[in-house]
């Protein structure tokens, strides 16, 4: 058997193995609340297959995403970098169509996309919501961006700190930004967080993105608050291509990275309020009370006291109830109808090294 035939057969066998493996798996639902009238969609919009430098067939990416609780994905194989092109014919649109029927079966929204691969600087960019990837196969970067713009694509800058020796915002990025050819930046890529990208998104009103950039087969069988793929929470009106695009263009996103949420204050505050439920005091002794606080989200919330009442450190465990004991600052007969405990949610980042101010309101009467 010829080498090329053996390689293609091996890919097909791997694909069949993972497809059979997925049939016996259950989906781990990710729990983050719908907020502000929008549906919270779990998205990974940067991943690779054998059609560029990934190691799995496109439909396998769908099975992995379903198993890990995702709602929306985009397979973004490189245009300019295809190490398997001697074995996999070049067809930049093909990964999308290979995965499409599987995505429909799994109720995963699949968005057509690609990665524009250039030296750093200026670096790599993803263009999604494309009609035809082939039209972006052009040598000049600005011509590529113009072609993406003609298709009304959403374009974001990938892993801006990937090569530290070339880290920074360059004239090319200014040109892309001023021409509205770049709409977002990966604040997180895989296991890396880029504080400078976080700042750029805040300063320039660019959409914050977080994606896995996965190349290897996904081996994660069950997600947890501290062990999950990096993803973008998108706040969309519904789970449709049009609604996801509208949300990304408007910047309605939050990043879930390890044990942190990273995003704009408006969205992080809404997630906190919808996730945290404070009960009425069930026990009182002298000037102390005990209350139960339920956190229905998939992230442990790490609180540090900012006021005078409450414990100095408090962790609200994910999908669990925590007992809080606190003084009320007065004798029971003189206590107000409600007390407010001021905290900083240290792992809800509204800027680099800046947590979200929150208040725990406890009704006493």
Q: What is the pLDDT of residue 23?
A: 47
120 and 149 part of one domain: yes
DSSP string, 266-304: HHHHHHHHHHEEE----EEETTEEEEEEEE-SSS-EEEE
d(CA 250, CA 363) in angstroms, rounded, equals 37
119 and 194 part of one domain: yes
Indicate the range of 65-74, 136-145, 212-221 predicted with least confidence: 212-221
Q: Indicate whether 270 belongs to any domain.
A: no
Contact 96, 61 (CB under 8 A): no
Comparing 295 with 82, which gets the higher pLDDT?
295
In the predicted model, what is the mean pLDDT of residues 98-125? 97
pLDDT class for 365, splitting at 50, 70, 90?
confident
The token pair that represents 187 in the structure block: 């604040």
* List of residues 6+ apart from 126 with CB closer than 8 A: 45, 46, 74, 76, 113, 114, 115, 116, 155, 156, 158
Contact 125, 155 (CB under 8 A): yes
Q: Indicate whether 139 belongs to any domain.
A: yes
pLDDT class for 3, splitting at 50, 70, 90?
low
Contact 10, 3 (CB under 8 A): no
307 and 245 part of one domain: no
pLDDT tens, residue by residue, 196-229 = 999 999 999 999 999 999 999 998 877 788 889 9
The token pair that represents 338 in the structure block: 């409600």
Contact 276, 293 (CB under 8 A): yes
Q: Output phi, psi for 362, to 5 deg.
A: -120, 120
Q: Which of 239, 263, 287 is the last residue of a domain?
A: 263
Q: What is the pLDDT of residue 226?
A: 82
In the predicted model, what is the mean pLDDT of residues 261-279? 98
Is the model's pLDDT at 12 over the cut of 90?
Answer: no
d(CA 131, CA 168) in angstroms, rounded, equals 31
304 and 163 part of one domain: no
The token pair that represents 10 in the structure block: 């091996």
Q: What is the pLDDT of residue 13?
A: 52
13 and 127 part of one domain: yes
Q: What is the pLDDT of residue 224?
A: 81
Q: Indicate whether 269 belongs to any domain.
A: no
329: domain CATH number is 2.60.40
Q: How many domains does the chain have?
A: 2
d(CA 58, CA 112) in angstroms, rounded, equals 12
d(CA 134, CA 305) in angstroms, rounded, equals 54
Nearest to 124 by CA among 216, 71, 190: 190
pLDDT class for 335, splitting at 50, 70, 90?
confident
Q: What is the pLDDT of residue 206?
A: 98
pLDDT tens, residue by residue, 312-331 = 999 999 999 999 999 987 77
Q: What is the pLDDT of residue 90?
A: 86
* Region of residue 260 (left: phi > 0; alpha: psi -120 to 50; beta: else): beta
309 and 231 part of one domain: no
252 and 124 part of one domain: yes
237 and 206 part of one domain: yes
pLDDT tens, residue by residue, 15-39 = 555 554 544 578 989 999 999 999 9
pTM of the full predicted structure?
A: 0.92
Strands 39-44 and 260-263: unpaired
Contact 328, 364 (CB under 8 A): yes
The token pair that represents 170 in the structure block: 């360059």
Q: What is the pLDDT of residue 334?
A: 74
231 and 290 part of one domain: no
Largest CA distance in the chain: 88
178: domain CATH number is 3.20.20.140
d(CA 217, CA 105) in angstroms, rounded, equals 20
pLDDT tens, residue by residue, 153-194 = 999 999 999 888 888 999 999 999 999 999 999 999 999 999
d(CA 313, CA 122) in angstroms, rounded, equals 43
Q: Which of 263, 293, 320 is the last residue of a domain?
A: 263
Portion of the chain with pLDDT greater than 90, in percent: 82
Is the model's pLDDT at 96 over the cut of 90?
Answer: yes
pLDDT class for 286, splitting at 50, 70, 90?
confident
Q: Indicate whether 271 belongs to any domain.
A: no
Q: Which of 233, 263, 293 is the last residue of a domain?
A: 263
Q: What is the dihedral of CA 8, 9, 12, 13, to 10 degrees?
A: -140
pLDDT class for 14, splitting at 50, 70, 90?
low
69 and 180 part of one domain: yes
Q: Computed from CA positions of residues 137, 139, 140, 141, in that sequence, does the dihedral angle turn out positive or negative?
A: positive
Q: Indicate whether 192 belongs to any domain.
A: yes
Q: Indicate whether 121 belongs to any domain.
A: yes
159 and 292 part of one domain: no
Q: Indicate whether 307 belongs to any domain.
A: yes
Q: Indicate whether 281 belongs to any domain.
A: yes
Q: What is the pLDDT of residue 331?
A: 73
Say whether 317 sits in a helix, a strand or coil.
coil
In the predicted model, what is the mean pLDDT of residues 43-62? 97
157 and 82 part of one domain: yes
Range of the domain at 323: 276-363
Q: Output phi, psi for 291, to 5 deg.
A: -135, 155
Instruction: Kindly state the DSSP code that residue 133 receives in the 8-state scheme.
Output: S
pLDDT class for 63, splitting at 50, 70, 90?
very high
Per-chain mean pLDDT for the chain: 92
């Amino acid at each position: 058997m010829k080498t090329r035939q053996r390689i293609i057969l091996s890919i097909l066998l791997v694909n069949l193995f993972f497809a059979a493996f997925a049939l016996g798996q259950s989906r781990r639902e990710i729990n983050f609340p719908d907020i502000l009238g929008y549906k919270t969609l779990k998205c990974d919009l940067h991943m690779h297959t054998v059609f560029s430098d990934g190691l799995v067939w496109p439909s396998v990416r769908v099975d992995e995403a379903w198993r890990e609780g995702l709602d929306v994905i985009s397979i973004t194989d490189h245009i300019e970098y295809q190490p398997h092109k001697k074995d996999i014919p070049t067809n930049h649109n093909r990964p999308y169509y290979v995965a499409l029927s599987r995505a429909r079966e799994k109720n995963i929204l699949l968005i057509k996309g690609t990665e524009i691969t250039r030296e750093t600087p200026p670096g790599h960019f993803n263009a999604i919501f494309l009609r035809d990837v082939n039209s972006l196969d052009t040598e000049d970067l600005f011509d590529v961006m113009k072609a993406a713009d003609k298709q009304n694509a959403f374009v974001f800058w990938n892993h801006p700190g990937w090569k530290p020796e070339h880290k920074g915002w360059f004239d090319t990025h200014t040109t892309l930004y001023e021409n509205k050819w770049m709409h977002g930046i990966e604040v997180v890529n895989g296991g890396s967080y880029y504080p400078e990208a976080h700042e750029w998104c805040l300063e320039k009103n660019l959409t914050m993105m977080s994606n896995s950039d996965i190349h290897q087969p996904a081996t994660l069988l069950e997600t947890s608050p501290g062990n999950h793929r990096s993803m973008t929470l998108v706040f969309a009106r519904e789970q449709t291509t049009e609604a996801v695009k509208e949300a990304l263009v408007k910047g309605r996103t939050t990043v879930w990275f390890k044990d942190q949420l990273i995003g704009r204050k408006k969205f992080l505050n809404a997630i906190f309020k919808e996730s945290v439920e404070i009960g009425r005091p069930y026990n009182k002794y002298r000037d102390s009370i005990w209350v139960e606080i339920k956190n229905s989200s998939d992230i442990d919330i790490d609180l540090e006291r900012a006021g005078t009442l409450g414990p100095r450190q408090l962790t609200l465990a994910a999908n669990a109830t925590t007992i809080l004991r606190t003084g009320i600052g007065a004798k029971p007969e003189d206590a107000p109808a409600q007390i407010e405990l001021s905290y900083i949610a240290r792992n809800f980042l509204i800027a680099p090294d800046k947590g979200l101010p929150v208040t725990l309101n406890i009704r006493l009467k």
